[in-house]
Amino acid sequence: MAHVTITPPTLYRAAVIGTGFMGRVHARAIAAAGGSVAGIAGSTPDKAREAAADLRAAAVFDDLDAAVDAADVVHVCVPNHLHAPIALAAIAAGKHVVCEKPLATDAATALAMTEAAAAAGVVATVPFVYRFHPMVREARARVSSGQIGRVTLAHGSYLQDWLLRPDDDNWRVDADKGGALRAFGDIGSHWCDLLEFVTGDRITAVNAQLATANRERSGRAVSTEDIVTLQFATAAGAVGSTVISQVSAGRKNRLLLEVSGTESTLAFDQERPETLWVGGRDQNAVLMRDPDHLHPDAARLARVPAGHAQGYQDCFDAFVADTRAAIDGDAPDGLPTFADGLRAARLAEAVAASARTRDWAEVPR
Ligand code: SOE
């Protein structure tokens, strides 16, 4: 019988640093991509042991160097102020890195991380995972092929409610751990990334307002914002606005992006990711995620046939699979890298500057 020799892909032994919700999502995605969780490190040995048992990790590490040593790829899923030291240590050891967003709490640090990864020649990615919804890729393909005409307007929102009440608390609320811009860094960054990804355009100027609904949480003063309203202009001449909030009762993880062109409008809702709304002057349509009828870039990411729902974890699985492909030397189109994390950090600084001066701020490239 004829046989075919298959070159095995390089190993993907991952160290997951962080045991919270995100660390667990990463660990599942690593397994789905055919990698292995070589070990987990957490803020306490008990947390790491508990997560390691749940996620069938091979080891628990109590120090970062041991975790980095054991891995081909280091997944950084810890509070934001620790992203830079851990990612830079992994890069210095020649390891590939997947680092949660925001990449850093300021743009200068994000730039240093991006440059360090490039100089070391490692793959360094940031999970802007909503890019991995097939219907987002469908929207992107339709915009780039000119199907919706020239883009004139983009708007939407990213709304959550998990920080609605004064006793809702998290490390993200504290500027020294999460960064000065919390809601924008955590979820506004996703919205802006998705806008630029889908349109292929770039926000050049912003006018932002920040508001803190809960000025005290768990008995301490809070300086980070719960709400951002943002107007923007783009390089290609479109205008738009978005509302970012973590205190919108009833909205769990509702990212809505609507892009209007001179021919038609597209709208994507992250809580209904199986569909894409297409608006026309004479007729509207709701497209379903049917791989047989999608653009090839979108169909590639459809993991199950139409009518079998796929969602958030599937995006993560696809993102880690593409990170792995990049390590194997075949970087797929649309993989979010440290350069995209740097872009988000620059946008965050422009948002902060605009809110501070109550004026428009330019966004550097
Ligand atoms: C919390 O706001 C959070 O988990 C974000 O940190 C993620 O990036 C987002 O995808 C879902 O919400």
SS3 (DSSP) at 79? coil
Portions of the chain given CATH number 3.40.50.720: 13-129
Residue 154 pLDDT exceeds 70: yes
Portions of the chain given CATH number 3.30.360.10: 131-307+338-362
Is 160's C-beta closer than 6 angstroms to any atom of ligand 1? yes
Query: 131-307+338-362 has which fold?
Result: Dihydrodipicolinate Reductase; domain 2 (3.30.360)
* pLDDT band at 7; cut points 50, 70, 90: low
Q: Which atom of ligand 1 is nearest to the CA of 186?
A: 6
Residue 4 pLDDT exceeds 80: no
pLDDT digits (tens, 9 = 90+) for 182-200: 999 999 999 999 999 999 9
Spatial CA neighbour of 157 closest among 276, 234, 277, 270: 270
- Residue 198 phi/psi, 5-degree rounding, is -70, -40
Contact 214, 222 (CB under 8 A): yes
Tell how far the Cα of 320 is from the centroid of ligand 1, in angstroms.
Answer: 17
CA pair distance 248, 227, nearest whole angstrom:
9
Q: What is the mean pLDDT of residues 157-166?
A: 98
Averaged confidence pLDDT in the chain: 96
Tell me the ipTM for this assembly.
Answer: 0.97
* pLDDT band at 8; cut points 50, 70, 90: low
Residue of the CA atom closest to atom 6 of ligand 1:
186
User: Could you tell me how far CA 355 lies from the centroid of its own chain?
Assistant: 23
Q: What is the mean pLDDT of residues 341-359?
A: 98
pLDDT digits (tens, 9 = 90+) for 57-94: 989 998 899 999 999 999 999 999 999 999 999 999 99
Residue of the CA atom closest to atom 10 of ligand 1:
187
Contact 142, 148 (CB under 8 A): yes
pLDDT at position 271: 97
Residue 1 pLDDT exceeds 60: no
Residue 5 pLDDT exceeds 90: no
Name the one residue in this structure whose structure tokens are 């962080």. 18
Task: State both tokens at 97.
Answer: 């890195």
* Helices 21-32, 312-327: inter-axial angle, 10-degree rounding: 60
Count H helices and E strands in the chain, helices first. Answer: 12, 16
Residue 2 pLDDT exceeds 70: no
pLDDT at position 141: 98
pLDDT digits (tens, 9 = 90+) for 134-145: 999 999 999 999
Is 270's C-beta closer than 6 angstroms to any atom of ligand 1? no
Task: State both tokens at 25.
Answer: 């999502």
- Partnered with residue 156 across adjacent β-strands are 242, 257
Is 170's C-beta closer than 6 angstroms to any atom of ligand 1? no
CA pair distance 189, 108, nearest whole angstrom:
17
Give me the percent of the chain exceeding a pLDDT of 90.
92
Please give the DSSP secondary-structure letter assigned to residue 145: T
Tell how far the Cα of 188 is from the centroid of ligand 1, in angstroms.
Answer: 10
Is 229's C-beta closer than 6 angstroms to any atom of ligand 1? no
For domain 13-129, the question of CATH label 3.40.50.720 is answered with yes
